[in-house]
Structure 1
Amino acid sequence: MSEKKPKSLQDLLDATPDLVSYFYNDTHSPHAMATPGAAPLPPEFTNWRDEQRAWRESVLLFDQSYHMPETFLRGPDAQKLLSDLGINSFENFTPLRAKQYFCCNHRGYVIGECVLQLLDDGTYELISGTYVQNWVEYNARAGGYDVTLERDPPFAENPRGRRMYHLQLEGPFARDVFAEAIEGEMPDIPFFRMAKVKIAGSDVYVLRHGMAGHLGVELSGPFAELDRVRMRLLEVGAKYGIRRSGTKAQYSALGESGWFGYPVPAVYTDPELADYRKWLPADSWEGRTQLGGSLVLPSIEQYYVTPWDLGADKLLKFDHDFIGREALQEMAKRTDHRKKVTLVWNEEDVARVYASLMGPDLPFKYMELPKSSYSFHQHDEVRNERGDIVGFSKFVGYTVNEAKFLSIAIVAPEAAAPGTQVILTWGEPNGGSRKPMVERHRQTTIRATVAPNPYAKAAQQQKNAALMKAAAV
């Protein structure tokens, strides 16, 4: 007689004595980032090197219409619900505005984040961030809020019913392509603000946004009009050398932009979230969380992060009541918050990893190009030169624009100054885990230099402008 399968996340936790080991060895990533090809986009339209160069030298068209989940929220209590859950202020949040939206648990640790847009018809659109979208849906239903809520899963789970497309233009000529593609005058759109334009006869929402270091635009509209709008952008962009981004280039942009996507959701241990865990299915993203890398911690809560770890403390406002407020007020008194940084990997050490493929011994962990992360939640230990663990590295990949391997890391304040030398452990202990994408390998160390986050100068300037704008919203 087969064992009864767990129905809820809480059932799964009750049946799993070692949650870290389970997530480290026995789950498959729920996100297309870890398995390119889950969406109907090729890994490369031309080659990922030229596609990366396009966001620095010409213009690149990202198609984000397939992998991002969305939630659409309407009703009298919609903003109250979001305010009750989010660390962000909603003062002056009017239609055609957007913000990076963060939710924390009662202890002040991050559950998730997403981009939140307020459309001109009063609809709140939550883009990407399944963890936070699950949290919003649960509270909408359990809290008695007067709202209507519609979920739009990624294409792999919902190939016939996607509601909105999302395209993004990045690069020094992104503005030129956009200006020529639209009908009428070029609108003046402040950073992280929205407007409506027409492209090829279609109404299009425009978010002044950027992911790869330039002040690009994100375009969205009804999914049925995707082909028409995309063809117009490619037609106009031809003279500017436009390229389309495959999944390899798209997911490798994190190294330059510095975005720390999808932290481990802080939902597994908070006693006040017991009912939430009973509501979440066992096969939810939270139940399929995947860990990997050299940093194996004793308990799942040691992987949790705070808004300060992610550089999101500038978005934290205590002008409203929300879940986690009291804990975050206490955290705000501390002076030892970890910092998000970029690590620039030592070229000789990287070359040594590749050279091991040619030797007689078991090679070091392979470094895939251009994205070298091999689990959804990558955590590689980072030590100082004395050998003390000072943090962890998450995303890692190669950028042809910088000709370097870069990773996004969270480190202790004493290790966060640019120029600090650290040592990263590459590969998993004991020859690797049971994850199918992890081959048998040896661990090794990689020297790295701490650098600003984001790394690219253009991205740094963009981030500073975005934070100044966001703080004012």
Structure 2
Amino acid sequence: MDLVAQQRSTYEAVLRLNEAPFITERPAMFSPAAAAQDEGNTRGTFGRFAQLLLPEEYSDWVEESSAHVGSCYLGDWTSLHKVKVHGPQALAFLARLGMRDLSRFETGQIKHHVQLDENGWIASEGVLCRLGPEEFVYTAGSCDWLLWQLDQGGWDAAATDVSPDRFIFGVQGPASLATLEKLTGDDLRDIGFSRSRTTRVDGVPVRVLRTGISGELGYELHGPTEHANEIWAAVVASGQDAGIRQLGFRAQPVQHIEAGIATNGLDYLPASILTPGAPRQFRKGKPSGSFVPAGGVTDYFRKPGELGWGFRKGVPDRDFIGRDALVEDAEKGVPGRRLVGLRWNEQDVSAVLTSLLRDAELPDQMELPRSRGPHFDQVLMSGDPVGVATGRTVSPTLRAMISLCVLDAAQTAPGTEVVVLWGRPGTPQREIRATVTALPFKPDNRRTDVTAL
């Protein structure tokens, strides 16, 4: 069986048996670049990202977490769900499904596609790339909401799950362009931010997308599974002189928080979990943290305006799922919360980190660099709830413990002092002082003028 057939066979088995016991009934699935990655995975440990097992660390998570600022990294996002939408009404369907305007969507362009349910909650979000007049690819943590919605209507369009057939490698950081130009032998400076085009690596066609998940100059490589190993190895070789680092699963999420990007399934739960379009790729489980959802599971959901994805000039007239709910929210002044950053007090954090060395009641420990699953902490001011913190991570670049926070609008001024309640209910909880910070935490270099490099 060739690599492509093996990946698809295992992928379909994993989805079908996702709740079955691991190893005995549900097969393990590795990246199509696993053989090349194994050379650098000297620790031999793996973490589960959706259906794939990826190396935890290659060198050291602290070093890897800083690579996107000082040089560049090579990371594996092949775990993302990838669906090709095609047909005469593909564009019309996608315009109805997402809240963004697609009327001037050019071939090769990339759009952040935010998909809502009828209540205006975020159901899915990801990257939509136009490949041709009637062909698009949507990549996200899960595309199941899209697939379910397409099945609901009589659209003259079809969707094909190409997840096991394509790899996605991220190359992010100031040395990313030089690394990829050396890799391809091609001048890639014509690729503007949120644009893409095809090139070749040793004769293999790949698509280069200019993205900004790290807050730095960065790109993605999308290509055929059967060439994943050779292309991974070639990127590593091309970036050696620039100090490239292979990015392990443990360090992957740090950059998102630094860049102020909320991650589906970690910083909020998608509203699709209550529908037949619920994500199949991720484990089911209860979020951890001090936050107690008084209103039920919807307290973990978010409106686009709460995450900085709302409309600047009011809700537009065009039709899309969830529009009526957003109009009603606007009339009521909802949402009343905004996404900000929190910088956690060093002394209070240190007290938790060193508590294992003291003879006292032990609070919940802080996994480093951050918790593996969804974690929600209550944020207080004068003892009253004012927000919810997520994504708590230590940033080696900033030398600080930071997090995102959905906070009452009246408290969002930078410098505002709040308190994060740390620890699950029923445990020795700690109050950790924190300071509101504007996002992103560090300068936004995504739109670097590459023509001057």
Q: Same fold (TM over 0.5)?
A: yes
**Aligned-pair identity (%):** 28
Q: Is the Cα–Cα contact under 8 Å of residues 292 and 374 in structure 1 kept in the other structure? A: no
Q: Which amino acid aligns with 1:313?
A: G
Please tell me whether residue 76 in structure 1 is matched to residue 88 in structure 2.
yes
Say which SS state the counterpart of residue 178 (structure 2) adopts: helix
Question: In the TM superposition, what are the counterparts of 1:29-40 in structure 2 within 5 Å?
Answer: 36-37=47-48, 39-40=52-53
Q: Does 1:417 align with 2:413?
A: yes
The alpha-carbon deviation at position 74 of structure 1 amounts to 1.0
The residue matched to 2:101 in structure 1 has which SS? coil
Structure 2 counterparts to residues 170-189 of structure 1, below 5 A = 170-189=172-191
Match of 2:330 in 1: 332
Separation of aligned partners in 2, 1:199 and 1:71: 23
Q: Residue in 1 aligned with 2:55?
A: 42
1-structure distance, mates of 2:105, 2:159: 20
Q: What's the counterpart of residue 60 of structure 1? A: 73
1:447 matched to which residue of 2? Answer: 433
Match of 2:6 in 1: none
Give 2:212's aligned residue.
Answer: 210
Contact (CA 8 Å) 2:71, 2:175: kept in 1 or not? yes
Residues of 2 paired with 1:214 and 1:280: CA distance?
33
Following superposition, the deviation at residue 285 of structure 1 comes to 6.2
State the TM-score, normalized to the length of structure 1.
0.79
1:204 aligned partner, one-letter code? V
Q: From 219, 232, 239, give the equivalent of 2:241.
A: 239
Match of 1:159 in 2: none
Count of equivalent residues: 397
Matching residue within 138, 153, 176 for 2:148: 138
Q: 1:62-461 alignment to 2 at 5 Å?
A: 62-65=75-78, 67-120=79-132, 122-130=134-142, 133-152=143-162, 162-262=164-264, 263-267=268-272, 277=275, 279=276, 284=280, 288=284, 290-298=286-294, 299-314=296-311, 318-333=316-331, 334=333, 337-371=336-370, 373-376=371-374, 378-384=375-381, 386-431=382-427, 442-457=428-443, 459=444
- Residues in 1 aligned to 2:426 and 2:245: alpha-carbon distance in whole angstroms: 42
Query: SS of the residue aligned with 2:351?
Result: helix
CA contact (8 A) 1:200 1:228 kept: no
Residue type matched to 2:190 in 1?
A: D
SS of aligned partner of 2:426: helix
> Could you tell me which amino acid in structure 2 is paired with residue 87 of structure 1?
M
| C-alpha displacement of 1:325 | 1.1
For CA contacts below 8 A with separation 6 or more, give which structure has more relative contact order: 1
Look up the match of 1:158.
none
**Counterpart secondary structure, 2:305:** coil
The unaligned stretches of length 5 or more in structure 2 are 1-29, 31-45
CA contact (8 A) 2:57 2:248 kept: yes
What letter matches 1:405 in structure 2? M
Residue 291 and residue 257 in structure 1: after superposition, are their counterparts in 2 closer, same or farther (change >3 A)?
same
Asked if structure 2 preserves the Cα contact closer than 8 Å seen for 1:88 and 1:317, the reply is: no
Letter in 1 for 2:144: N
- With 212-221 and 284-293 compared, the bigger mean Cα shift is at 284-293
**Distance 1:146-1:287 versus aligned 2 partners, 3 A rule:** farther
Partner Cα distance (1:170, 1:284) in 2: 28
Distance 2:310 2:198 in 1: 31
Q: In structure 2, what residue type is equivalent to 1:202?
A: V
Gaps of at least 5 residues in structure 1 are: 1-31, 154-161, 270-276, 432-441, 466-473
Query: CA offset at residue 75 of structure 1?
Result: 1.1
Preserved contact between residue 37 and residue 43 of structure 1 (Cα < 8 Å): no
Give a deviation string over 1:39-69, Cα, whole Å, max 9, x none.
Answer: 342111000111122111111111212x211
- Aligned AA for 2:155? Y
- Give, in angstroms, the shift of residue 120 of structure 1: 3.8
Question: Following TM superposition, by how much is the alpha carbon of 1:252 offset from its aligned partner in structure 2, in angstroms?
Answer: 2.2
